[in-house]
């Protein structure tokens, strides 16, 4: 399936979800020996943001990579490359979401007068998301968080493309699309940025 058809299917699935008309597709018995996902979704690990439900697709339809704040470290980068090469999907969606706790915590940390001591893992999350925080903004906290969520998605997309020769080659030679998106917990809608 080409990337544009995959993106169309994802958008249609989200419309079904928002309308309360989910198909609730489950067919694990057919996937014992093989899988053929048509999309890769790199999203946040927040329990309110399950891609299979949000996009109304079944087991085996998406290769989902979930990490707090939808950041892209070498592990997530390698996971995208693995899925693209092994299973063939040509659509990658990097999806953030409203009310993201990882982004809120990062903004609090960046704006703090005294930076708290963080574990190495949490420091990685804060450092990646922190690149998306506008430290010169005089906006209210909620507005800074909203802007950071969107900026963080854009930065993750850029990082994925810039750092992965595999993704660059698949975009150039095989029509791969890498798009950013934001899921609105309040409405269930996914907004695509690209």
Output the pTM of the full model: 0.89
Q: Give the residue among 65, 29, 61, 27 at the shortest CA–CA distance from 44.
A: 65
**Structural domain harbouring 148:** 3-192
Number of domains in the chain: 1
Q: Distance between CA atoms of 83 and 71, rounded to whole angstroms?
A: 17
Q: Residue 182 has which token pair?
A: 């934001």
Tell me the pLDDT of the chain (194 aa) as tens digits.
899 999 999 999 899 889 888 776 655 556 667 788 999 999 999 999 999 999 998 888 999 999 999 999 999 999 999 999 999 999 999 999 999 999 999 999 998 888 889 999 999 999 999 999 987 777 799 999 999 999 999 999 999 999 999 999 999 999 999 999 999 999 999 999 96
- Which CATH number is 19's domain given? 3.40.1050.10
Whether 36 and 60 have beta carbons less than 8 Å apart is answered as yes
Distances (CA, A) of 128 to 66, 133, 174: 15, 10, 29
């Amino acid at each position: 399936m080409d990337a544009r058809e995959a993106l169309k299917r994802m958008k249609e699935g989200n419309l079904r979800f928002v309308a309360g008309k989910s198909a609730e597709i489950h067919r694990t018995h057919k996937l014992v020996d093989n899988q053929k996902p048509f999309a890769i979704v790199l999203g946040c690990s927040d329990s309110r943001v399950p891609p299979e439900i949000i996009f109304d697709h079944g087991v085996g339809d998406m290769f989902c990579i979930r990490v707090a704040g939808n950041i892209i470290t070498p592990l997530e980068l390698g996971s995208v490359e693995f899925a693209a090469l092994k299973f063939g999907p040509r659509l990658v969606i990097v999806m953030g979401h409203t009310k993201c706790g990882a982004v809120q915590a990062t903004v609090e940390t960046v704006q703090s007068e005294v930076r708290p001591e963080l574990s190495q893992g949490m420091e990685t999350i804060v450092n990646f998301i922190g690149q998306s925080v506008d430290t010169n903004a005089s906006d209210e906290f909620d507005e800074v968080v909203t802007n950071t969520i969107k900026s963080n998605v854009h930065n993750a997309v850029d990082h994925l493309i810039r750092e992965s020769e595999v993704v660059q080659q698949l975009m150039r030679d095989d029509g791969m699309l890498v798009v950013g998106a934001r899921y609105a917990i309040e409405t269930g809608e996914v907004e695509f940025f690209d």
